[in-house]
Amino acid sequence: MPQINKDGLLAGKVAVVTGASRGIGEFIAKRYAMEGAKVVVSARTVEASDHFLEGTIKDTVRVISDAGGEAIAIKADLAQAEDRQNLIKEAEAAYGPVDILVNNAAVTWFVPVVDFSEKRFRTMMDVQVWAPFELAQMCLPSMIERGDGWILNISSHAAIHPEAKTPGGHGGTVYGMCKAALERCTTGLAQEMFGKGVGVNVISPGLVATPGVVHHKLINENNEDRVTPVEHMAEACLRLCYGDASKITGRIDYADQVIEEFGLQPIDII
Mean pLDDT for 204-217 is 64
- At residue 106, the pLDDT reads 95
Mean pLDDT for 8-27 is 97
270 within domain boundaries: no
- Name which of 55, 67, 19 is nearest 40 in CA terms: 19
Cα separation of 14 and 192, whole Å? 23
**CB atoms closer than 10 angstroms to residue 151:** 28
68 within domain boundaries: yes
131 within domain boundaries: yes
Torsion of CA 219, 222, 226, 227, to 10 degrees: 20
102 pLDDT higher than 90: yes
Q: What band does 215 get if pLDDT is binned at 50, 70 and 90?
A: very low
Looking up residue 116, the CATH number of its domain turns out to be 3.40.50.720
Burial of 163 (0-12, 13-18, 19+ CB in 10 A): exposed
267 within domain boundaries: no
β-sheet bridge partners, residue 39: 15, 71
From 42-46, 99-103, 185-189, 195-199, the region with the lowest mean pLDDT: 42-46
216 pLDDT higher than 60: no
Summarised one tens digit per residue, pLDDT across range 239-262 is 999 999 999 999 999 999 999 999
87 pLDDT higher than 70: yes
Total number of domains constituting the chain: 1
44 within domain boundaries: yes
- Indicate which residues carry an active-site annotation: 175
95 pLDDT higher than 60: yes
Q: What band does 121 get if pLDDT is binned at 50, 70 and 90?
A: very high
2 within domain boundaries: no
4 within domain boundaries: no
Tell me the residue range of the domain where 149 lies. Answer: 14-261
52 pLDDT higher than 80: no
98 pLDDT higher than 90: yes
